[in-house]
Structure 1
Amino acid sequence: MPMYKSDQLAHQLKSLIEKNIWKAHTKLPSLREQVESSGFSLMTVMNAYQKLEAQGLIYSKEKSGYFVAEQTKPALDSASTLAPKIEINSSVFKYLKSIQTPNLVSLGSAFPDSELLLPIKLRQIVSQLARYPKSYDQTTNLPPGNLALRKIIAQRYCMQGIPTQADDIVITSGGLDALNLSLQALTQPGDYIVLQQTTFYGAWQAAERLGLKVITVPEHAHCGIDVDAFEQLILHYPVKVCWMMFNAHNPLGFTVSEEIKFKIAKLLHQHHIHLIEDDVYEELFDGLNKPLPMKYYDQNNLVMHCSSFSKTLGAGFRVGWVYAGKYSEHIQHLQLMSTISANTLVQNALVEFLSSHHYEKHLRSLRLKLKKNKKRFYHYLKQNLPTQCRIHYELGGYFLCIMLPEQASSEEIYKTLLNQNIAVAPSILFNYSQQHQQFIRINCSFDWSNHIQSALDVLTITLKQLSNAKLET
């Protein structure tokens, strides 16, 4: 079988690198210089360079060209992937529009059941404050946000052994806003960032919007994150930032052990790589002790910790924050050019609500209800799903992932169920390559009812029909 011209050129250049004729961090000839010297077209040269970049042999810098990657270890582990040009926004948009149908059973929602959120005391506080014009005064709630609220959040960090001042905190319009602002503050178009192989779709959207190059690190069956693969990829690429979720991961549900967190923190410190920590599910743990964030192990202010109240108090309380530290002022400048500030009335209501024992009481009740509901979903699905499917069950949070039979299409299942007014989240939203995970994510926060059971029956029947069809072919 003849070799494509781009493969021929890539093979020639790879040979120069492997023989150490081109040493690490040597700049390669520009695209046009390579065109002139090789006689190949510009498109052929571009394809060859991209092949080498995907193999971890070279890397690129914005407006500077391509360079030879460090080759002290073998090329990038095949499980780690340099993602192609990311184009996911349209898929996410279509999905989010599709689940706005009235009377939909929202098993694909990212938020807990609203019936479990928004405690009575908080509603009373909002109602009382809404009567006073001063509650809407934005002057004291502009970036970096309500001072009293920032002090309360800082105190919650201190209770976990993380020294924090109010000035370290910037209030944002939700967790995603905190994450996006942090990524924008730390990167330039063309920078390399690391995402988990399976991750929240907002991370893919942000990378697409900012023109970033994404390398994915695979999951580990027992550790959550493959630390060896992570170490290998940061040796081969000039990684600027990692965006990761360590506690109650969305969508897979795992919580990374403190040992693994420490190892990753050590690698980040050694290579001076920033981490944006997505920790919006931090309060929804299962057990007596709240898992520590990566911020606890932070050295040299490399971790930007982001969280939100929306997963514990509802989408209507979409107020988040970022532990920005020395980047606080930069984050505020970016805020003033975009979202400006979080809702003033909500910030004031949160101050009063969090200042009492009511929030902790609500969290304890919420955790118990989510644990009970998730177990009910798990046992019912385990009993009724076809044997070709398996359930990825982890403690904490409120998601279950159903791993599908080989060759099954999560998107096809999502569309089939949507026609029956049931929404699930397909894996195409979370795993860009779709080569390593094929699953649907289920929201298990809902109290059990005939309505929920009927929806799960439709789900299991659909999966059984699919499994039987696959066996026949």
Structure 2
Amino acid sequence: MYKSEQLAQHLRQLIENGTLKAHEKLPSLREQVQLSGFSLITVMNAYQELESRGLIYAREKSGYYIAQGLLEIEAEHAQIVSLNTPVEINSLVFKYLKSIQDEKIVPLGSAFPAQDIVFSKKLTQIMGQISRNPKSYDAIDNLPPGNLALRKLIAQRYCMQGIATDPEDIVITSGCMDALNLSLQAIASLGDYIVLQQNIFYGALQAAERLGLKVVTLPEHPQDGFDLTAFEHILKTYPVKICWLMLNSHNPVGFTVSDEIKHKIAVLLHQYHVHLIEDDVYEEMHYASKKPVSMKYFDQNNMVLHCSSFSKTLGAAFRVGWVHAGKYSQAIQHLQLMSTISVNTLLQNALVEFISNYHYEKHLRVLRKSLQQHKLQFYRYLESRLPTGCKLQYHPSGYFLWLKLPENIESMAVYEALIQQQIGVAPGRLFNVAEAKTQYIRLNCSFAWKDDIQQALDALLSTISALSSDQTNI
């Protein structure tokens, strides 16, 4: 046993028997060196091991402290949370995105909906018309916080959902990812603790890695999607400053959290004074008659920064997003002026015309119906043909299916086998840093049913069966 393991085990025993109490400060690194006789690097490794297990937590410029009640909760929930520091995901994401860029790849791993389903002929016509007007290119009126007319229209949409909003609360951004990153930079600092769902869009993991944040991951609840017990435990145990959550049409899993749970989340955020960056880019892709509310609806004391975009409903070419920033509007604008500066002027003016004349609502109705039909067709085809040990999650929103593989198959193996056949799927490893291996695949189901789609799905099924058979014969 390494010396660092010996020290970590000794300290764990002191925590278990109650000698070290919750929130009690541990000796500093140098003090522990003198007490234990071990080297500084040994003590550092021991503390990091205890921190990774959630037994202790660090406070900036203060030291390490004992976590509250973790062992009792561990007995009830075998793996309730995971502390992942540092996060390393950028290289994997880069390699993956490069591998699916070829136009010959069947894009079942794409994060964007099929272009033909989001294409709007009317919006294209509007773009053509306003592009001939020199005033449409005037950048001054479209500098941060963005086109006032567009911000008014977005504010009206919030008000229609019962969320009191002033246009000054809105900052227009270059897509949702830009809104999310600017929001995170406005609040978080190096070394801060951030809560992410255990399976989450890899952009959140990339942002945490870039800013040097300590990530605490929250597993999904098997029925509700969001585990309130685990979430409250995290807020009690760690000095969390910020959360980044997706609660409507979750990517990659697909669930939408109930209003009751969202309200309880808001209460906890207020109680522990924790900010939430809400990734709600799929908010309009519901199949129900009533749009699910966002966390912003339940916000107390401006703790929620709500981020969304038109890029998922109108296509990647219309990369215009926004953040309901409230009191952080000025800070986000300052950051924006140092990075993207301003959002495409022509796109902002075109969206004003498109939305104000009700073309957008008509477009959304058609889009939702098409997505529902396509996703259901994918689901039915796969569900009746899945090999033994597979499980497919279907949720009535968005355009992703979350496929669980047999226990003996790792998602990267499926991805690697299929990419050789020019078929792209998104392995679960892209969305999860808490587990070394993942058994899930995300599938994009927004495409109209054609021969190449069916052949790609057949290849997926064959690959799973072949890999399962290979593992059984080992």
Scaled by the length of structure 2, the TM-score of the pair is 0.96
8 Å CA contact 1:276, 1:305 repeated in 2: yes
8 Å CA contact 1:114, 1:314 repeated in 2: yes
Residues 171 and 251 (structure 1), Cα distance of their counterparts in 2 relative to 1, 3 Å cut: same
* Cα distance in 1 for residues equivalent to 2:449 and 2:13: 61
Cα distance, 1:52 vs structure 2: 1.8
Q: Which residue of 2 aligns with 1:155?
A: 156
* Cα distance in 2 for residues equivalent to 1:267 and 1:147: 34
User: Which of these residues, 30, 34, 39, is aligned with residue 32 of structure 1?
Assistant: 30
Q: Secondary structure at the match of 1:158?
A: helix
Cα distance, 1:23 vs structure 2: 4.4
* Cα distance in 1 for residues equivalent to 2:104 and 2:70: 57
Q: Secondary structure at the match of 1:384?
A: coil
- State the Cα RMSD in Å: 1.6
Cα distance, 1:15 vs structure 2: 4.1
Pairing 1:69–2:70 present: no
Give the 5 Å matches for 1:210-221.
210-221=211-222
Residues 266 and 436 (structure 1), Cα distance of their counterparts in 2 relative to 1, 3 Å cut: farther
Cα distance, 1:459 vs structure 2: 1.4
Give the 5 Å matches for 1:187-336.
187-336=188-337
Cα distance, 1:17 vs structure 2: 4.1
8 Å CA contact 2:412, 2:429 repeated in 1: yes
Residues 72 and 472 (structure 1), Cα distance of their counterparts in 2 relative to 1, 3 Å cut: closer
Pairing 1:394–2:395 present: yes
Amino acid at match of 2:25: K
Point out the more displaced range, 24-33 or 272-281: 24-33
Where in structure 1 are there 5+ consecutive unaligned residues? none
Give the 5 Å matches for 1:338-417.
338-417=339-418
* Number of aligned residues: 471
* Cα distance in 2 for residues equivalent to 1:451 and 1:436: 29
Q: Which residue of 1 aligns with 2:110?
A: 109
* Cα distance in 2 for residues equivalent to 1:407 and 1:215: 27
* Cα distance in 1 for residues equivalent to 2:393 and 2:66: 40
Q: Secondary structure at the match of 1:194?
A: strand
* Cα distance in 1 for residues equivalent to 2:298 and 2:136: 38
Pairing 1:6–2:7 present: no
* Cα distance in 1 for residues equivalent to 2:369 and 2:186: 38
Scaled by the length of structure 1, the TM-score of the pair is 0.96
Cα distance, 1:161 vs structure 2: 0.3
Q: Secondary structure at the match of 2:251?
A: coil
Pairing 1:434–2:432 present: no
Q: Secondary structure at the match of 1:74?
A: helix
* Cα distance in 1 for residues equivalent to 2:350 and 2:204: 30
Cα distance, 1:301 vs structure 2: 0.5
* Cα distance in 2 for residues equivalent to 1:447 and 1:460: 19
Q: Secondary structure at the match of 1:140?
A: helix
Cα distance, 1:41 vs structure 2: 1.7
Q: Secondary structure at the match of 1:299?
A: coil
Cα distance, 1:466 vs structure 2: 1.4
8 Å CA contact 1:75, 1:236 repeated in 2: no
Describe the superposition over 1:421-469 as per-residue Cα deviations: whole angstroms up to 9, x where unpaired: 1101000100113368511111000011112111111111111211222
Residues 52 and 225 (structure 1), Cα distance of their counterparts in 2 relative to 1, 3 Å cut: same
Cα distance, 1:369 vs structure 2: 0.2
Q: Secondary structure at the match of 1:252?
A: coil
Give the 5 Å matches for 1:126-145.
126-145=127-146
* Cα distance in 2 for residues equivalent to 1:34 and 1:401: 47
8 Å CA contact 1:144, 1:169 repeated in 2: yes
Give the 5 Å matches for 1:415-454.
415-434=416-435, 437-454=438-455
* Cα distance in 2 for residues equivalent to 1:402 and 1:72: 32
8 Å CA contact 1:56, 1:75 repeated in 2: no
Describe the superposition over 1:307-342 as per-residue Cα deviations: whole angstroms up to 9, x where unpaired: 000000000001111110000001111111111121
Give the 5 Å matches for 1:43-62.
43-62=41-60
Describe the superposition over 1:258-279 as per-residue Cα deviations: whole angstroms up to 9, x where unpaired: 1111111111111111111100
Describe the superposition over 1:188-236 as per-residue Cα deviations: whole angstroms up to 9, x where unpaired: 1111010001000001000000000000111011100111111111111
8 Å CA contact 2:16, 2:71 repeated in 1: no
Residues 72 and 8 (structure 1), Cα distance of their counterparts in 2 relative to 1, 3 Å cut: closer
Where in structure 2 are there 5+ consecutive unaligned residues? none
Amino acid at match of 1:28: L
Cα distance, 1:35 vs structure 2: 1.7
Cα distance, 1:104 vs structure 2: 1.4
Identity of aligned residues (%): 62
Amino acid at match of 1:42: L
Amino acid at match of 1:363: L
* Cα distance in 1 for residues equivalent to 2:332 and 2:267: 26
* Cα distance in 2 for residues equivalent to 1:128 and 1:441: 39
